[in-house]
Structure 1
Amino acid sequence: MAKTQKYDEDQLLDAVVKYAEIERKKIKATELAKWCRNNIEGLEEVRDYHFTRPIREKDEKTGKVIDRSKLCTLKIEEINKTRSLTASINTNLLLRASNIDTFMEQTDIVKRKMIVETRKTVDKLLVQNGNIVRENEALKSENKSMKIDILKLTEKIDKLQIVQDALSKRITYLMKATDEAARKEMLSQMGITDKKVDLDVYSESLQQKLSEVIDINKTLRRYLSDVDEKEEKTSDITSDIMSGLNL
Structure 2
Amino acid sequence: MTADAGTYLYVVARDSGAPSPEGLAGVAGTPLRAIARSGLVAYVSTVPLAEFGEEPLQRSMEDLDWLDATARAHHRVVEAVAVAVPAVPVRLVTVYSGDEQVSGLLEDRHDDFCQALDRITGRQEWGVKVYADPAERVEPDAAQEGGGGASGPGAAYLRKRQAGLRSREEAWRRASARAERVHDRLASVAVAGRRHRAQDPQLSGRKEWMILNGAYLVDEERHAEFVRTVDELRGEGGELELTGPWAPYSFAALDEGGEP
Asked which structure has the greater RCO (Cα within 8 Å, sep 6+), the reply is: 2
| TM interval, short-chain normalised | under 0.3
Normalising to structure 2: TM-score of the pair?
0.25
Looking at CA atoms only, which structure, 1 or 2, has the larger radius of gyration? 1
Higher strand share: 2
**Structure having the larger proportion of residues in helix:** 1
